[in-house]
Amino acid sequence: MGYAGTNKGGTSAILAAEELLRSNREAADEISVDAVLTAFPAIIDRIMGEGGLWHERTAAAAFIQAGGDTAEAVHLLRAHRSTLPRLTFSLPIEPDDMALCRRVVPAHRSPDGPQLLGETVDYSPRIIRRGVGDPLGGDDSDLVVDDDQIGPAKYPDRPVQRYTRFLAAQGLLVDRRDESDPEPYDLALNPITLPAPRSARLSAMSLAETGALVNLWYRGVIGPDGHTDESVTLGEVRYGRLGVRVTHPHTGNPVQVGEIRATECESMAHLDERGEDASRFDAGYGFAMGHNERKAIAMANMDLAAQRYASGPAGWQTEQVIMHTTDGLAANGFLEHLKLPHYVTFQSMIDRALAARAEDGKTSQRELAEDAAEQPAQDAAEQPAEDATKKEVLA
């Protein structure tokens, strides 16, 4: 049954489509949720972040069902989220309590606390490996040896100062505290309204599609419009584990109910434009569930641009773009809806095109009138200007 069948009771077509997908996958070995969680942690984290739901096994199941299509998996997770009752709200998480798995401070050579490379491919050569072993031929013995011993002795177990605090202590950071936005704006329960408080912008970006945020930042840097630039410096890129606590319904005491992993970023820009305080820096904040540094960095940079230009048209544009265009579910869904039947509306457009064709080549009443008016003027071009004008004035 063809495409049109989906429009008239095409149940059998839909079922056949599902069967086709299922039978094609049947040929492969069964992939377990555990195998996915072990082998593809990055994509699971990305799906949970964009899906706005922390549950690794559910995300892995969605990933398998979606055949590896991230957007589809995020959709499954969001739809699943709608089925879950909201039992309680967690207590605010103190980001400084993060158990660090990775921490990079690009702005400083030796910040408070460690520079912790952790788990990353940042410095691995992107050479497709066939088998095990270093594709560059091992033996790094003659490379410079890092003689800095990192351990509990050097870095005791305490929260490390984030770089923006260092800047603030030196009086080099603007104060962006906003007392008018005490409770985070929950986009899962509330519609988007503009102007949006900063917490709504941060929520939107935390849920946003990673690629959308990255492109938003990059377009501002190198495209013809947008309000980001290259002169940002990252104060912190952190990845680690955070406890989630709620208030116990009976005892009223805080109790830890789980743990998430998250990525945090702070980016800084010198306020060097007209009307700004050139003796200070501004800082933006990014937070993404799971390990997703691209997203957290893009978010921090967009947050910075949105608040830096908040009082003018550039800020209003940035705010609208962040709030209304970065949700992957909205953008992907709307794009794909173009595959739905559109022949009624298209028939209506064809009607207008045909009408225009019928009119094409016919001389309009206006042109007829103009031709009549221009005729004497053209004749008059050969004559002295004076006469021509008299005719025109008379006409």
Partner 1 sequence: MSTASVLSEIDRELELSGRPTVLDEQAKREVRRAMLSAVCIPGYQVPFGSREMPVARGWGSGGLQATLAMGGSEDVVKVIDQGDEEGVNAVNLRRLIRGTLGCGTTADTREASIVQSRHRIPEDRMVAGQTIVLQVPNSEPLRGVEKSVRECNRMHAEADYSRIWVGMYEDLVTGGVVNTGAGYPVMVNDRYLMAPSPIPRWDVPRLNDSDHLTILSHGRDKKIYAVPPHTPVAPVTFDDVPFEVEFTEGTTCGLCGSADTFMVQTSDGRFLCSDVEWCRRVRDHDVDPAEHRVIAPLQYLPDAGKRVRATAEDYLVDPGLLADESAGFRDAVTTTAPGAEWTLKVSGLGKTYPARRGSSAVVAAADVDFDVAPGEALGIIGESGSGKSTVMKCIIGDEYQAQGDVRLAGFDDARTNILQLTPTERRNLRISALSVVYQDPAMGLNLRISAGGNITERLTAAGWRNYRAIRRRAAGLLDRVEVPLNRMDDAVGQFSGGMRQRVQIAKALATDPDVLLLDEPTTGLDASVAAGVLDLLRELLAERNIAVVVVSHDFSVIDALTDRAIVMHRGRVIETGLTDQLFADPHEAYTQRLVAAARG
Interface ranges with partner 1 (CB under 8 A)? 108-112, 117, 122-127, 135-137, 140, 142-144, 146, 166, 222-225, 229-230, 270, 272, 274-275, 278, 367, 370, 377, 385-386, 388-390, 392-393
* Sole residue written with tokens 């993060």: 98
- Cα 311 to chain center, whole Å? 23
Give the pair of three-digit tokens for residue 256.
């830890």
Evaluate the omega torsion of the peptide bond into residue 195 and state whether it is cis, within 30 degrees of 0. yes
Give the H/E segment covering residue 50.
helix 41-51
Q: What are phi and psi of 74, to 5 degrees?
A: -60, -40
Surface-to-core class of residue 199, CB atoms within 10 Å of its CB (0-12 exposed, 13-18 middle, 19+ buried): middle
Q: Which is nearer to partner 1, 153 or 385 (CB)?
A: 385
Least gap, CB of 380 to partner 1 (angstroms): 10
Q: Which is nearer to partner 1, 17 or 117 (CB)?
A: 117
Is residue 265 within 8 Å of 234, Cβ to Cβ?
yes
Give the H/E segment covering residue 260.
strand 254-270
Least gap, CB of 148 to partner 1 (angstroms): 9
Least gap, CB of 166 to partner 1 (angstroms): 8
Give the H/E segment covering residue 103.
strand 99-104
Distance (Å, whole) CA 236 – CA 387 = 81
Q: Which is nearer to partner 1, 183 or 230 (CB)?
A: 230
Least gap, CB of 132 to partner 1 (angstroms): 15
Least gap, CB of 390 to partner 1 (angstroms): 7
Q: Which is nearer to partner 1, 183 or 386 (CB)?
A: 386
Distance (Å, whole) CA 273 – CA 191 = 34
Mark out the alpha helices in 117-274 (DSSP H runs). Answer: 163-169, 198-207, 210-222
Distance (Å, whole) CA 71 – CA 349 = 32
Q: Which is nearer to partner 1, 13 or 221 (CB)?
A: 221
Q: Which is nearer to partner 1, 21 or 368 (CB)?
A: 368
Least gap, CB of 323 to partner 1 (angstroms): 23
Q: Which is nearer to partner 1, 340 or 394 (CB)?
A: 394
Q: Which is nearer to partner 1, 86 or 352 (CB)?
A: 352
Q: 287: closest CA among 278, 274, 297?
A: 297
Q: Which is nearer to partner 1, 59 or 283 (CB)?
A: 283
Least gap, CB of 92 to partner 1 (angstroms): 28
Give the H/E segment covering residue 268.
strand 254-270
Least gap, CB of 125 to partner 1 (angstroms): 4
Q: Which is nearer to partner 1, 57 or 391 (CB)?
A: 391
Give the pair of three-digit tokens for residue 387.
């006469």
Q: Which residues pair with 246 in a beta bridge?
A: 255
Helices 56-65 + 70-81 axis angle, to 10:
130
Least gap, CB of 347 to partner 1 (angstroms): 24
Biggest CA–CA distance in the chain, Å, is 104
Q: Which is nearer to partner 1, 6 or 161 (CB)?
A: 161
Instruction: Give residue 62's identity as a one-letter amino acid code.
Output: A
- Cα 371 to chain center, whole Å? 57
Least gap, CB of 231 to partner 1 (angstroms): 8
Least gap, CB of 373 to partner 1 (angstroms): 10
Give the H/E segment covering residue 285.
strand 281-289
